[in-house]
Amino acid sequence: MSEVRQDPLTGRRVIIAEDRAGRPDEFDAAPARRIPIDCPFCAGSEHATPASLAVYPAQAAEAHISPDAHSNTRREGEHAGWQVRVVPNKFPATGEPGERWRPHSAAPHAGVHAAESLFKAASVCGSHEVIIESPDHVAGFSQLTPQQAKYTFVAYRDRMQAAADAGHAYAIVFKNVGAVAGASLQHAHSQLIALPFTPPEIETQVGNASRHHQLRGSRLLCEMTAQERKAGVRMVAQTDHFAAFCPFASRFAYEVWIAPRQPVAPYQQSSCGLLKELAALAQDVTQRLQTVLRNPAYNFVLHNAPFHLDKHVAAAQQWRLEIFPRITRTAGFEWGAGCFINPVLPERAARELREADIATEHRRPANAQTRRTMQP
Ligand SMILES: [Zn+2]
């Protein structure tokens, strides 16, 4: 039996249709064919990337991680023993730093005065950065050392702060693992895109959280997390400060959110200690996904609030990390209706992930051949 569920934060409706998972699938999802290239992200190939924006060396004391966030010049010895480094994307989706966000003067259209034209454009002043998560050629997040995982989350924080300082409106951090999830290079990396505007989906979430805060005086995501912890059926794992759960209205099979258990500051103000705990939980969750789904492609998305909010609106916001495996295919219905069909009950997904025996599966090679594919 199918049911429609609504997510309180995003307002999204999702159709949970377990029966869909059992139907015949004539199309085998062949693994993507790899074309061997010299990996530009491995240690020793630093010359193949633009100069680092930030470097996190192995010997840095936790309290002394202070890369020169605004430096765009290669410094003497910066590559010695790095664990994580951040570079500008060589093929950016945004314009050059310093480019102005301005209304585009509408090109004249035949028979339409420029002032009446419906078609508007503007240059995208932002930044597009790559966070290289390890000097070694590993692919999955759970394959990083604990220090590399922690530095990755610290780098997100530092680069978000740099984006806020640069006056950008919003920055999103995301990670694509596997070709199906959008990765073009296998080496573990994530990306940050800073924008001069807040994307519509984020605006919706900010509005829903603000309305909830006005009505009930609490942060919507914190209340959702508290209810998930109380219900327990969708819980995957938890630590002192974070809960990992399959959200009630999961868009994707085995989707997991990691959310703070109590209200915390905007992500860019997080302490190293908190990020160490977050990184360990994210490694735990990706290891569970790897064990249960046999090395799936997946995405991470860090949903932080826009940078320059009114303080009353800001008080309603709470960041979270979404992790979603890409084992279901997004088809005509999803693209056409903007509404997802999920063939796996979130309660079932959570139980499998919770019960996964990750101790014996630890650090399964990322190129393991077995995989599981589903079509909604
Ligand atoms: Zn590599």
The pLDDT of residue 366 is 40
Q: How far is the CA of 44 from the centre of ligand 1 (A)?
A: 10
The rounded Å distance from CA 45 to ligand 1 centre is 9
Q: How far is the CA of 81 from the centre of ligand 1 (A)?
A: 15
Interval between CA 173 and ligand 1 midpoint (Å): 20
Q: Which tens digits make up the pLDDT trace of 232-253?
A: 999 999 999 999 999 999 999 9
Helix (H), strand (E) at residue 14: strand 13-17
Instruction: Name residue 206's beta-bridge partners.
Output: none
Question: How much is the average pLDDT of 115-121?
Answer: 72
Amino acid 168: pLDDT: 92
Residue 106 has pLDDT above 70, yes or no: no
Residue 68 predicted with pLDDT over 60? no
The lowest-confidence range among 47-51, 96-100, 233-237, 240-244 is 96-100
Ligand 1 midpoint to CA 189 (Å): 10
| Distance between CA atoms of residues 105 and 149, nearest Å | 45
Express each pLDDT in 187-223 by its tens digit. Answer: 999 999 999 889 999 999 999 999 999 999 999 999 9
Decide if pLDDT at 300 tops 70: yes
How many angstroms does the Cα of residue 136 sit away from the middle of ligand 1? 6
How far apart, in whole angstroms, are the C-alpha atoms of residue 182 and residue 90? 17
| The 235-238 sheet, strands edge to edge | 54-57, 82-88, 127-132, 189-195, 170-177, 298-303, 320-325, 256-260, 242-245, 235-238
When mean pLDDT is compared across 64-78, 239-253, 329-343, the lowest value belongs to 64-78
Q: Residue 89 C-alpha to ligand 1 middle, in angstroms?
A: 16
Q: Which helix (H) or strand (E) holds 24?
A: none
272 vs 181, residue with greater confidence: 272
Model confidence band, residue 25 (pLDDT cutoffs 50, 70, 90): low
Contacts of 61-68 spanning 24+ positions with Cβ under 8 A: 62/272, 63/272, 65/151, 65/154, 65/158, 65/272, 67/158
- Residue 333 has a pLDDT of 87
**Higher confidence at residue 356 or residue 102?**
356
pLDDT for residue 104: 53
**What pLDDT is stored for residue 61 in this prediction?**
56
Q: What is the distance in A from the centroid of ligand 1 to the CA of 246? A: 32
- Cα(186) to ligand 1 centroid in Å equals 7
Taking residues 55-69, what's their average pLDDT? Answer: 62
pLDDT for 241 equals 98
Confidence band, pLDDT 50/70/90 cuts, at residue 28: low
Percent of the chain with pLDDT over 90: 61
Predicted confidence band of residue 73 (pLDDT cuts 50, 70, 90) = very low
- The Cα–Cα gap between 247 and 253 comes to 10
Summarised one tens digit per residue, pLDDT across range 151-176 is 999 999 999 999 999 999 999 999 99
Model pLDDT for residues 321-332, shown as the tens digit of each residue: 999 999 988 888
pLDDT value at position 37?
A: 77
Q: How far is the CA of 85 from the centre of ligand 1 (A)?
A: 13
Ligand 1 geometric centre to CA of 120 (Å): 41
Taking the centre of ligand 1 as the mean of its atom positions, its distance from the CA of residue 175, in whole angstroms, is 16
How far is ligand 1, taken at its centre, from the CA of residue 250, in Å?
A: 33
d(CA 4, CA 257): 20
The rounded Å distance from CA 137 to ligand 1 centre is: 4
Residue 96 alpha carbon to ligand 1 centre in Å: 26
Highest mean pLDDT pick, 50-59, 81-90, 156-165: 156-165
For residue 185, the CA-to-ligand 1 centroid distance in Å is 8
The alpha-carbon radius of gyration of the chain (Å, integer) is 21
The whole-angstrom separation of Cα 16 and Cα 341 is: 6
Q: Of 75-79, 84-88, 100-104, 359-363, give the range with the top mean pLDDT.
A: 84-88
Q: What's the CA gap between 257 and 278, in Å, rounded? A: 12
Interval between CA 39 and ligand 1 midpoint (Å):
4
Measured in Å, residue 86 CA sits from the centre of ligand 1 at: 14
Report whether 42 contacts 68 (CB < 8 A): no
Residue 205 phi, psi dihedral angles, 5° rounding: -65, -40
pLDDT at 41 over 50: yes
Q: Ligand 1: distance of its center to the CA of 46 in Å?
A: 11
**CA of 42 relative to ligand 1 center, distance in Å:** 4
286 CA from centroid of ligand 1 (Å): 20
pLDDT at 133: 97
Instruction: Give the pLDDT mean for 77-86.
Output: 82
Single-letter code of the amino acid located at 314:
A
Distance, CA 296 to ligand 1 centroid (Å)?
A: 20
Task: Report the 3 state secondary structure along the chain.
Answer: CEEEEECCCCCCEEEEEHHHHHCCCCCCCCCCCCCCCCCCCCCCCHHHCCCCCEEEECCCCHHHCCCCCCCCCCCCCCCCCEEEEEEECCCCCCECCCCCCCECCCCCECCECHHHCCCCCECCECEEEEEECCCCCCCCHHHCCHHHHHHHHHHHHHHHHHHHHCCCCEEEEEEEECHHHCCCCCCCEEEEEEECCCCHHHHHHHHHHHHHHHHHCCCHHHHHHHHHHHHCCCEEEECCCEEEECCCCCCCCCCEEEEECCCCCCHHHCCHHHHHHHHHHHHHHHHHHHHHHCCCCEEEEEECCCCCCCHHHHCCCCCEEEEEECCECCCHHHHHHCCEEECCCHHHHHHHHHHCCHHHHCCCCCCCCCCCCECC
* Terminal-residue alpha carbon distance, the chain: 14
Find out whether 296 and 371 touch, Cβ atoms under 8 Å.
yes
Q: How far is the CA of 366 from the centre of ligand 1 (A)?
A: 13
Q: What pLDDT score does 20 carry?
A: 73
pLDDT level of residue 363 (50, 70, 90 thresholds)? very low
Across 296-362, the runs of DSSP E, i.e. the strands, are 298-303, 320-325, 340-342
CA 41 to centroid of ligand 1, rounded, Å: 5
Confidence of residue 318 (pLDDT cuts 50, 70, 90): very high
Residues with CB under 5 A from ligand 1 (ion): 39, 41-42, 137, 187
